[in-house]
Amino acid sequence: MVRIGITGAAGRMGRTLIEAIEEHPGATLGAAFERPGSSLMGVDAGELCGRGRAGVCLQGVVAEALDAFDVLIDFSSPEATAEAAEVAAQSGKALVVGTTGLDAAQQSAVDRAALRVPVCQAANFSTGVNLSLVLLETAARVLGDTVDIEIVEAHHRHKRDAPSGTALAMGEVVAQALGRDLHAVAVYGREGQTGPRARETIGFATVRGGDIVGDHTVMFAADGERLEISHKASSRMAFARGAVRAAVWLAGREPGRYGMREVLGL
Ligand code: NAD
């Protein structure tokens, strides 16, 4: 049985992770962490998501509960992720990173951790999205430079970063397949007298509203036909199940960086 610790346990993803761990036959909740000073400190993690007592209470300091878990799953904030990565590296704990919007310094804390412990980081842990990354690579290779590529994503009103980490990951896969540098060709929104579209650009459009869990469409638009590859998440369980699957898969692996492609055997 793999014992899992969660950072960001009271958040939207944290609560869903608690449920996903309970469902998984090979995993158990070992520890649940929240922002130090949170009013939820000491609350039982199971009761937090209306599932009855789990016997694990929310606490603030990961380093103080190292005996309670084997793998740490982090869906919190970029600052907390960088701290979690340092603690995981120092304590030899495997790490699953779901938090998006990391800056260069926060990302390098995760990269440093991967030199010492197994790390699985993904902008999106759902099976469908990870399969769509494989389909996108094929589509980009076949359609090549004959199409205009646009990526549209929609999320709930609380999301902090834009475009989503998943949209960027999709753009990265397509750009790589076409031998383009995403930083050089990405266009993040358009306004005013934009002029005609340059063929090599990859456009991103962002929608925010309501309780949309996460929609992504990549459009390959040619003259006379258009291919669209879309994924729509209707529940956070899609991400949580994938993250728990990654945590169980990661336990006992060699240090290094792993992705969902490896976890899912794609
Ligand atoms: P949320 O705001 O509902 O939850 C984040 C939680 O982290 C909050 O409860 C907050 O108090 C807690 N937190 C902040 N600092 C902390 C600290 N120092 N220690 C412990 N906990 C701390 O957000 P959310 O919707 O659950 O999303 C969290 C992150 O996961 C975001 O970056 C989001 O983009 C990302 N996300 C990734 C995927 C994926 O599949 N990779 C899917 C959904 C969301």
Ordered DSSP codes for 68-137: G-SEEEE-S-HHHHHHHHHHHHHHT-EEEE------HHHHHHHHHHTTTSEEEE-S---HHHHHHHHHHH
Is pLDDT above 90 for 92?
Answer: yes
Indicate if 8 and 117 belong to the same structural domain.
Answer: yes
pLDDT class of 194 with cuts at 50, 70, 90: very high
- Do 175 and 257 share a structural domain? no
- CA distance to 14, 42, 55, 72, 178, per residue, from 28 (Å): 14, 19, 11, 12, 42
**Domain match, 145 and 72 both:** no
Q: Is the pLDDT of residue 1 over 90?
A: yes
Q: 85: alpha, beta or left, given left = phi > 0 and alpha = psi -120 to 50?
A: alpha
Among 19, 72, 76, residue to substitute to test ligand 1 (most atoms within 8 Å of Cβ): 76
114 and 151, same domain (yes or no):
no
pLDDT at 61: 96
- Give residue-wise pLDDT tens across range 23-42: 999 999 999 999 999 999 99
What contacts 82, CB < 8 A, 6 or more positions away? 102, 105, 106, 109, 110
Enumerate the β-bridge partners of residue 218.
151, 229
**Which residue has a Cα nearest atom 31 of ligand 1?**
99
C-beta of 98 in contact with ligand 1 (< 6 A): yes
Q: What is the pLDDT of residue 51?
A: 87
28 close to 113: Cβ distance less than 8 angstroms: no
Cis peptide bond prior to 25, omega within 30° of 0:
no
Q: Is 121 in the pocket of ligand 1 (CB under 6 A)?
A: no
Same domain, 228 and 242: no
Q: Which pair of tokens denotes residue 207?
A: 């929608």
Both tokens of 242, joined, read: 């994938």
Burial per residue of 162-191, b for 16 or more beta-carbon CB atoms within 10 angstroms, e otherwise: bbbbbbbbbbbbbbebbebeeeebbeeeee
Q: Is 80 in the pocket of ligand 1 (CB under 6 A)?
A: yes
pTM (2 decimals)? 0.90
Cα gap 257→251, rounded to integer Å: 13
For 8, residues 6+ apart whose C-beta sits below 8 A from its C-beta are: 14, 33, 34, 74, 75, 76, 77, 80, 99
CA of 223 to the centre of ligand 1 (A): 42
83 and 156 co-located in one domain:
no
Q: Find the CATH number of the domain harbouring 228.
A: 3.30.360.10
CA of 16 to the centre of ligand 1 (A): 11
- Return the active site residues: 155, 159
Together in a domain, 6 and 117: yes
Point out the ligand 1 atom lying closest to the alpha carbon of residue 100.
32
Domain shared by 23 and 103, yes or no: yes
CB distance 5 to ligand 1 below 6 Å: no
Instruction: Tell me if 120 sits within 8 A of 97, measured CB to CB.
Output: yes
Evaluate: CB of 34 within 6 angstroms of ligand 1. yes
Could you tell me the pLDDT band of residue 126, with boundaries at 50, 70 and 90? very high
* Closest ligand 1 atom to 76 CA: 7
User: Under 8 Å CB-to-CB from 183, ≥6 apart: which residues?
Assistant: none
More confident of the two residues 266 and 65? 65
* pLDDT category of residue 234 using cuts at 50, 70 and 90: very high
Q: Do the strands 202-208 and 214-221 form a parallel or antiparallel pair, or are they unpaired?
A: unpaired
Closest ligand 1 atom, residue 123 Cα: 41
**Domain identity same for 117 and 133:** no
| Atom number, ligand 1, closest to the C-alpha of residue 161 | 34
Q: Which residue, judged by its Cα, is nearest atom 12 of ligand 1?
A: 8
Specify which residues 153 forms β-bridges with: 206, 216
Residue bearing tokens 């960001």 = 8
Is residue 106 in contact with ligand 1, taking CB distance under 6 Å? no
pLDDT over threshold 90, residue 142: yes
**pLDDT at residue 180 is higher than 90:** yes
Give yes or no for residue 20 CB within 6 A of ligand 1.
no
For the domain that residue 107 is a member of, what is the CATH number? Answer: 3.40.50.720
Mean pLDDT across 86-93: 98
The answer, yes or no, to whether residue 111 has pLDDT greater than 90, is yes
Above 90 in pLDDT, residue 177? yes
Same domain? 28 vs 95:
yes
Indicate the number of domains in the chain: 2
Domain that holds residue 26: 2-121+236-264
Q: CA 176, CA 196: separation in Å to the nearest integer?
A: 24
Length of the chain: 266
pLDDT at 136 over 90: yes
Q: Please report which confidence band the pLDDT of residue 266 belongs to, taking 50, 70 and 90 as the band edges.
A: confident
Residue nearest to atom 9 of ligand 1 (CA): 11
Whether 117 and 6 map to the same domain: the answer is: yes
- pLDDT band at residue 90, thresholds of 50, 70 and 90? very high
Q: Tell me, yes or no, whether 112 and 240 share the same domain.
A: yes
